[in-house]
């Protein structure tokens, strides 16, 4: 009887150890619980950034302040700006750095505003998929050092820069971009004096005066592996990127700084105009009819790894113009 009792106790001990080990495996899941079985991106190229799912908390129904009430932004502070349906809003990077995603609304339209501090990439998208609003969160996972978003209804993973779902029900679906400007607070406010500003009253305790990526910005290294290594410029060189059809082109800030700031150029068969502001390190791109096109400011390494066949603008005197076209 004692023999069977020992076996029973040993069995319970082994069972307890197995349960403990199973819990540890779950806790140490490198993919934060997301199903990557049907991922179009190899699992070996998806990295855990450190925080768990929602460890970086996205903002939902955020509060805003009037521009006249904002005294905590310097004119040189960078913001992501959106003007939609006559409504202008600014999202300071010193808040976006800590949250990365803001689920917002412009009139009757839902918009998700995203920022990846590792890539210096700010992008916004229509948050309706098949007519239904989706809320987005931070997965804690990265692809090509870029944040992977997830939607609340299907937990599909979406790459920010690629704007595509890489796993889940929506795999291979594309998000619809919303035009966004990455510029200084002084520049945005001068053009949009009645703009609203994302409030620091987020419901979370964060030091919005501190940039946790300050050292990273000065380093030439990416924090996580990427598919393609960029050549020719410093990896953290800011570039303005644009995609027209199947053509991608990058406008390095160092090249734009060698021009008058008014450039006529072509992407494929598309004629366009680039208006560069040297002081604010930002640019707007227009088509030949002076319609503003969707472009994005990000680090060179990030643009190149997603668009390895990109064209690159090189400054030439013949491409400089002294009069504004748009």
- Of 4 and 37, more confident: 37
CA distances from 319 to 162, 173, 258, 273, 311 (A): 30, 37, 11, 10, 16
Minimal CA–CA distance to 262: which of 249, 278, 242? 278
For the segment 67-122, what is each residue's pLDDT rounded down to a tens digit?
999 999 999 999 999 999 999 999 999 999 999 999 999 999 999 999 999 999 99
Per-residue pLDDT, 22: 38
- Counting Cα atoms < 13 Å in the Cβ hemisphere of 36 gives 19
> Strand pairing of 157-159 and 146-151?
antiparallel
The C-alpha atoms of residue 325 and residue 168 are separated, in whole angstroms, by 45
Show me where the domains of the chain are located: 43-198, 234-319
The C-alpha atoms of residue 238 and residue 301 are separated, in whole angstroms, by 9
Lowest mean pLDDT among 173-177, 244-248, 320-324: 320-324
pTM: 0.88
For the segment 56-69, what is each residue's pLDDT rounded down to a tens digit?
999 999 999 999 99
Residues 57, 58, 60, 66, CA torsion sign: positive
Q: What percent of the chain has pLDDT over 70?
A: 88
- Average confidence score pLDDT of the chain: 89
Edge-first strand order for the sheet with 282-287 is 262-267, 270-277, 282-287
- Of 47 and 5, more confident: 47
Per-residue pLDDT, 322: 54
Per-residue pLDDT, 20: 37
Minimal CA–CA distance to 34: which of 202, 158, 118, 117? 158
Per-residue pLDDT, 271: 93
Per-residue pLDDT averaged across 258-279, rounded? 93
CB 207 within 8 A of CB 76: no
Minimal CA–CA distance to 126: which of 146, 143, 106, 140? 106
The C-alpha atoms of residue 243 and residue 123 are separated, in whole angstroms, by 14
CATH of 43-198, one of 2.40.160, 2.60.40, 2.102.10, 1.10.3470: 2.102.10
CA distances from 156 to 168, 178, 236, 319 (A): 4, 20, 29, 43
Per-residue pLDDT averaged across 22-39, rounded? 72
Conformation bin of residue 134: beta by default, left when phi > 0, alpha when psi is -120 to 50: beta
Residue with tokens 């060179």: 300
Assign 3-class secondary structure to the chain.
CHHHHHHHHHHHHHHHHHHHHHHHHHHCCCCCCCCCCCCCCCHHHEEECCCCCCCCCCEECCCEEEHHHCCCCCCCCEEEEEEECCEEEEEEHHHHHHHCEEEEEECCEEEEEEEECCCCEEEEEECEECCEECCEEEEEEEECCEEEEEECCCCCEEECCCCEECCCCCCCCECCEECCEEEEHHHHHHHCCCCEEECCCCCCCCCCCCCCCHHHHHCCCCCCCCCCCCCCCCCCCEEEEEEECCEEEEEEHHHHCCCCCEEEEEECCEEEEEEEECCCCEEEEEECCCCECCEEEEEHHHHHHHCCCCEECCCCHHHECCCCCC
For the segment 151-167, what is each residue's pLDDT rounded down to a tens digit?
999 999 999 999 999 99
Encoding tokens for residue 239? 């570039």
Minimal CA–CA distance to 103: which of 133, 73, 79? 133
For the segment 199-208, what is each residue's pLDDT rounded down to a tens digit?
999 999 999 9
């Amino acid at each position: 009887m004692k023999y069977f009792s020992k076996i029973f106790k040993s069995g319970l001990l082994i069972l307890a150890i197995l349960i403990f080990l199973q819990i540890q495996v779950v806790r140490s899941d490198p993919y934060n619980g997301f199903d990557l079985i049907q991922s179009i991106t190899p699992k070996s190229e998806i990295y855990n950034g450190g925080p768990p799912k929602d460890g970086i908390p996205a903002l939902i129904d955020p509060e805003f302040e009037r521009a006249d009430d904002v005294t905590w932004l310097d004119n040189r502070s960078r913001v992501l700006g959106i003007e939609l349906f006559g409504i202008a809003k600014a999202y300071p990077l010193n808040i976006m750095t800590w949250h990365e995603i803001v689920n917002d609304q412009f009139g009757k339209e839902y918009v998700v505003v995203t920022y990846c501090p590792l890539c210096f990439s700010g992008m916004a998208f229509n948050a309706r998929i098949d007519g239904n609003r989706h809320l987005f969160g931070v997965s804690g996972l990265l692809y090509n050092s870029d944040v992977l978003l997830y939607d609340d209804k299907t937990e599909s993973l979406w790459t920010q820069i690629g704007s595509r779902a890489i796993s889940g029900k929506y795999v291979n679906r594309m998000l619809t971009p919303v035009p966004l400007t990455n510029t200084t607070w002084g520049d945005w406010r001068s053009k949009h004096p009645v703009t609203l500003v994302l409030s620091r009253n987020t419901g979370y305790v964060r030091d919005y005066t501190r940039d946790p990526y300050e050292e990273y910005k000065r380093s030439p290294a990416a924090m996580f592996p990427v598919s393609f290594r960029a050549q020719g410029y410093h990896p953290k060189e800011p570039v303005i990127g644009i995609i027209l059809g199947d053509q991608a082109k990058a406008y390095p800030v160092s090249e734009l700084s060698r021009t008058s700031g008014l450039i006529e150029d072509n992407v494929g068969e598309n004629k366009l105009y680039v208006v560069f502001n040297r002081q604010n390190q930002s640019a707007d791109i227009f088509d030949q009819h002076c319609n503003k096109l969707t472009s994005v400011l990000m680090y060179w390494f990030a643009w190149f790894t997603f668009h390895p066949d990109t064209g690159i603008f090189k400054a030439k005197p013949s491409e400089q113009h002294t009069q504004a076209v748009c």
